[in-house]
Each structure stands twice: as structure tokens, then as C-alpha cells.
Structure 1
């Protein structure tokens, strides 16, 4: 058994960590943004909001509640969580619409770059006696034309058996259940880890208040996060889920796709489960 985490992950703590991680790897600089594009997007966004207000006859009390909640989202550092849970799936659909290879899905707020580099056959860093069912995740990386991609990298991270992510919850080793695996000369990989558990997104902050007010649930199904890349090919960011798992059919983040559902089977010696999944990358 692993040591029990004595402190609970809080919305404010995980929100602050997610905000800092995002700022450290911000994708673009506003200086290069097309002003006409900004004008179009913001004007239409505001027009949609105005339409909602008029159609539903929003009151000042409701408006003030929204204003207070938006302020609280910022104070809790939960903008990365809010955007990644409720908006990112639509952005990802647009970004991946023309992809021929493997399906992608959202990155989520808990990615950390530069995880430890590991050989093609290896185990993710984990604590002695890490809780959870042992899982062997194996497969190959190839191009859309079938060519194997030797040396492809598979960044992998996921929650532990308590639904907690290292660097976003107290009491976990820095790189627990995070690693960057380098595929072999045939594009192959064999990664040993533990099967993660479903988890609730933090509910003690502003996002939790929204969930409670709307009568929603806060659960994400168990999943593996992956970023797979190779020279001359498009990076794919994805998540893989588990057949029959809780909340696969009603993920709060709307990120599950049929092509991303795994069906692990017991390993031959009865110790844990295994699954094979190949990644197909589009040319850059």
C-alpha cells in the first residue's frame, strides 16, 4: 500500500499550479494576433451572450451572481480548469477535423512538460507498492502510410488510484506516474503503470459552485493522458479510457470518443491487465 495523502488537494492549490504551468508554456503572444479575427470572435461571443440575456430575461440578481462567480474563478485560479473542462473539447474538434491518423482529445489542465525520459520498455515512476491494478500499455507508433516511426516519443501521465495528479496535489513525488517514453527502432513501446481511477474535478472552488448550482456531476472517467510525436509528423494529444468504466458515457469534460476506449485483458500470469494500442501520426 502507498502512504495515505494527509492533505487534500484543493481547488485553489491545483488551480494555482495549473495557472502557473499554463503561463510557463503559453503558446502564443497577443502581439501577433489578427485584429480582424479578434473583432469577429469577440463580437459574436458578446452577441451570443446578449441573445441569452434577452431570451431568458436575465435579472440583475442573476447578473450580479454571474459577476461574483467570475471574480471567484479568477481568485481561485480556476480559469484553466473551467476552460479545459467545458470549452477545450470544441477547440480540439476544430483543430483535429482534418486529421487522418489517431483521434485526439483534450489536454486538460494537469500536463507538465519535461517528464523523465525512459526507454521503450519501462515503468512509469511510481511509489513502492503504488495502489491500483497493474497495467501493461503497449503498442507501436507509425505514420499514416504504415511506416514505423522509430524514436517516436510518448509522453504519458495520469492520476493515481485516489484520482490525484503529481505536482497538483500534496504528498506525491514530483514525477509520480509521469514519463516520456522513447519508442524502439520499430516504433514499439511497452509501458508498465497502474490503471488510474475516475475522479471528481475540484469542487471546493468556483467551478464546484457552478456544478452544484446547475445540478451537474463533477466526474471524469479513468483515463491515460498521452502526447505522441515524431519528426516530420503532427503531435497528437489524446486521452484513453477504459471500456465499462464509470462516467465513460457522461464525462463532465465531454472528451470521450469511441476510438479512444480501451478493452484491457488479464495478463497471462494473472497479475494485472494489458492492452495494445497503436498510434498513427499524420505527416506535418
Structure 2
């Protein structure tokens, strides 16, 4: 099964799925346009680009390569991937600079809403033969003042042991390793899953060509994606990484923060690993 997924999971297919997910979200999350704000942001972006061209004396040959590459990014459907890998971490930093509670980080291009709702003690949907080290991920959701947040929701999604996400690679069940866990009356949750693997962002499309041309690596460290929310509180979007894991120190997406690194230990039942991580939500 892994060989089939590896053969068929292409940048174009992954990019198209990410683009469609983004378009679907945008249809229900419109934003008012402030013309003065657009003028300021676009004018400064263009001015910065003009400065780069002048300082580095960009040639017509280089300019034409850029035009060709930008066209190909759109044809590959990789704009969500490009923006989420290289720009989103700064947008997130600015958006959450005043939070008192848990640290956030990027959402990335592979979020899908409305995952199956599960009780506080839950096992994520997975295949009977799901490969990987079993992981018990547990914790509590509270407010900044320490008040337990009963019924808080913990949306979780992550790649499988081969680095693939359900709905973005062929051969995976629709909701594999995705779920929305509802915490108990004390804000506690216990989620059984498997430890994800590090993975390369798609390298056979436009983003891969940029990476190769610049001599960069394409790797993201293994991570759990989460969105945690409760009525009257701000939703936090974050990722949690694994201590000592590959590329924690040089994540291509620049999304790792010290507060987001887990240190799992042996599971109490002897089956894999377990780790406790608590979430603290700011008031809305």
C-alpha cells in the first residue's frame, strides 16, 4: 500500500487538493476590503521588490525565469503550499503577539474542517494495520486563570508513518488520523494515535524546483496539528513537535518554537509512548 501511495502522491494532486480546500474556506470566510490598507501593503511589497531588483541588478533572463515559475506555481496549485511554508509563520507571529496562553504556530495547507467528533477518551480513525509507534496524547484545556474548560474541542490531524495526509494522498481513508475530540467536564482529553513521521513537502512541482535551485532542503519535522477552542475563548492553532526529531532545528517552514516541543516517555501500559500537554486559552 505504501508503494502505491508513494507512486501516485504528486505535487500537482496535493496542490490541487490544498487549493480547493482553501477556496472552499474562503467562500464562507469573506473579508471586508479596506482600500487604504490594500494600497499600503501592496505599495510597500512592490517597493521592496523594486529595491531587490535594483540592488541585485536582476537581468531579463532571471526576470523571465521568475515569470515562468510564477505561472507554473498557479498551474500546479501550489500557492497555498508556497505561502504556508515561507510566509505564514510571520503572519502567525504578528496575529498572536499579544496572547497570554498557549503558543500557536502555522496551520499549514492540509487542514480539513468537520472531522469526526469523538469523546474525551478517543482513538483517532486509522487503518487496522496502521504503521507507526502508538502514542497516547493527553492533557487539559484551561483558561488563562486556570479554570478548566468543560467541553473544549481539540481538533487534531497529522501525517501517517510515511508522511502522508488523508485527503491529500491517494489510498488513505477519508478521515485517517483526523478527529475532533470533545474534552470532559474538567477539560481533560486522552487521544490515542500513532507518532507521525518527518516528511518532505512535495518536491516534484514548482516549490520543489525553487528548493532545488536555492540548494535548500524540503523537510518538515514530525508534528501533530491542533486547533483548540472553547466558548468565550480564542481558538489556538498550533503544531507540536518531538524532542530530538529530525529537522526540529531546521524546519523548512520555520514553525518550531521551544514551547511546542514534546518529550514523550514510555506508555504506562507498555504500548508505545505517552505525553501530556496542556492548552491554555485566552478570553475572546
TM-score, normalisation: structure 1: 0.98
Note the 1:1-284 alignment, pairs <5 A.
3-6=1-4, 7-26=7-26, 28-29=29-30, 32-284=32-284
Structure 1 runs of 4+ aligned residues shifted over 2 Å read: 27-30
Q: How many residues align?
A: 281
Q: Is the 8 A contact 2:116 2:178 kept in 1?
A: yes
Contiguous gaps of at least 5 residues in structure 1: none
Question: Following the alignment from structure 1 to structure 2, what is the Cα–Cα distance between the partners of residues 5 and 187?
Answer: 41
Tell me how far 1:5 sits from its aligned partner: 4.8
Tell me how far 1:207 sits from its aligned partner: 0.2
Q: Is the 8 A contact 2:240 2:260 kept in 1?
A: yes
Gap change, CA 1:184 and 1:5, over 3 Å in 2? farther
Q: Is the 8 A contact 1:5 1:171 kept in 2?
A: no
Tell me how far 1:271 sits from its aligned partner: 1.4
Q: Secondary structure of the residue that 1:25 maps to in structure 2? A: helix
Q: Is the 8 A contact 2:153 2:229 kept in 1?
A: yes
Question: Following the alignment from structure 2 to structure 1, what is the Cα–Cα distance between the partners of residues 173 and 29?
Answer: 31
Q: Secondary structure of the residue that 1:140 maps to in structure 2? A: strand
Q: CA RMSD in A?
A: 0.9
Question: Following the alignment from structure 1 to structure 2, what is the Cα–Cα distance between the partners of residues 37 and 28?
Answer: 19
Q: Is the 8 A contact 2:142 2:187 kept in 1?
A: yes
Question: Following the alignment from structure 2 to structure 1, what is the Cα–Cα distance between the partners of residues 162 and 207?
Answer: 20
Contiguous gaps of at least 5 residues in structure 2: none
Q: Is the 8 A contact 2:2 2:162 kept in 1?
A: no
Residue deviations 1:21-45 (CA, integer Å, cap 9, x gap): 0011116436x21000000000000
TM-score, normalisation: structure 2: 0.98
Question: Following the alignment from structure 1 to structure 2, what is the Cα–Cα distance between the partners of residues 232 and 171?
Answer: 39
Residue deviations 1:176-205 (CA, integer Å, cap 9, x gap): 000000000000000000000000000000
Tell me how far 1:270 sits from its aligned partner: 2.4
Question: Following the alignment from structure 1 to structure 2, what is the Cα–Cα distance between the partners of residues 269 and 232?
Answer: 37
